[in-house]
Chain A
Amino acid sequence: MLVGCAAGKVATGTLQFYANGEDFVREGFVSKDGWSINFDHVYISLADVTAYQTDPPYDPHSGADVKGKVKVSLPRTYTVDLAEGDADAAPILVGEVKNAAAGHYNAISWKMVKVSSGPANGYSLVIAGTAEKAGQSVDFDLKVDTEYGYSCGEFVGDQRKGILREGSTADVEMTFHFDHIFGDADTPMDDELNLGAVGFGPFAGIAEGGKLDVHMAGLQAKLPAGDYQALVDMLPTLGHVGEGHCHCH
């Protein structure tokens, strides 16, 4: 869906929207407390996915809603599996809009919503996989039903994104940083990332028979209060644009 206005013929191209769990999800990683985590599925449900041409460029630090002179939206709610494919898999194509107005899409917003069908039925985020440490193994299935909205500026990464020229294809990306929940053994322990992350140990501590299948209410009941609060604090920080932070509301 293209929303915008201009006099006369508008130069257009195809704008693609990707979701990316990064190598952390595709390849697995070691949590801050030494658990080797591999993901079978990371289902995330996305709605109201919209890219904007903003001038002046949107600043997520402002906390304001994004307002663009041109905006392009995906028409429905999408549930994607960020762990789909092998370790070398590309980010997940969520959808695309043909005949999008050419220009620089330098902001994006989306909602992470609870869905009522599909593999993540009843949840906005489902994180499933296996964690191993020192001979212990935990099959986990963490189910989040909280909904979040993200407003982000321009993608920050190796290549600039969102610059759509007439007759060509460009892309924008919704990036999700799962090391914010589990921490990262490759990052200094005194880094803010690891200081704020839950790690995996608290989840392993409430597993039974090597299995943990739990939703947020169960986590609130079973996790130590501090660990549950850390999880609640970290979930809104999942959404990024590459390495650029977003405003969560």
Chain B
Amino acid sequence: MNMKWISIAFLFSILFILGLPVEAYAHGARIEYKIDMSIEIVATYDNGDPMAGAQVVVYAPDDPSTPWLTGVCDDEGRFTFVPDPSKPGIWDVQVRQAGHGDMVHIPIGEDTVATTGAGGYTVLQIVLMAACVIWGFVGTGFYFSRRRA
């Protein structure tokens, strides 16, 4: 499992929030952003072969009997979806192919921004990472706006 919690759109949105200069917005451009927290699963057989084309069923925490989403893995056994953040709890993902199958249980909490099978990012870590990204853009802005001697 892997979480993609940040996107290019998100990086642009940071600049917009800071009100950094200037040219990029001079013509009335409007940039909206949306932060998607997608979940990517990778399904493999025990020997490491990807479960290419395997059936995927996703169950949301509020209705464990009814599939919330269905799909298939790609050639590398990957499947990505964006859970509904208004439904915190355990999201269950079942993958099946040719008589083999497994189910993974992914905790999505209100304060869970991202997790992986090996542990996730806390809110504090996310804030620190975002601050680093912001500072990188600020520094880049100062570099290009400096006056030549």
Chain A interface residues (CB < 8 Å from chain B) = 56-57, 104, 153-154, 156-157, 160, 163, 177, 179, 187, 191-193, 242-245
5 closest cross-chain pairs (CB), A and B: A243-B101, A156-B101, A57-B105, A154-B103, A163-B65
Q: Is the CB of A57 within 8 A of B96?
A: no
Instruction: Report the interface size class on chain B.
Output: 10 to 19
Cα–Cα distance between A172 and B47 once the two chains are bound (Å)? 29
Cα–Cα distance between A27 and B39 once the two chains are bound (Å)? 40
Q: Is the CB of B46 within 8 A of A187?
A: no
Query: Chain B residue with minimal CB distance to A165?
Result: B65
Cα–Cα distance between A187 and B90 once the two chains are bound (Å)? 34
Q: Is the CB of B103 within 8 A of A153?
A: yes
Can you name 25 A-B residue pairings with CB atoms under 8 Å? A56-B105, A56-B107, A57-B90, A57-B92, A154-B92, A154-B103, A156-B96, A156-B101, A156-B103, A157-B96, A157-B101, A160-B59, A160-B64, A163-B64, A163-B65, A177-B99, A179-B99, A187-B98, A192-B46, A193-B99, A242-B101, A243-B96, A243-B99, A243-B101, A244-B102
Report the minimum CB–CB distance from B92 to chain A (whole Å).
8
Contacts of B105 in A (CB 8 A): 56-57
Query: Chain B residue with minimal CB distance to A60?
Result: B102
Report the minimum CB–CB distance from B106 to chain A (whole Å).
10
Cα–Cα distance between A177 and B103 once the two chains are bound (Å)? 18
Contacts of B107 in A (CB 8 A): 56
Q: Interface digits, B126-142 against A, CB 8 Å rule (1 contact, 0 not)?
A: 00000000000000000
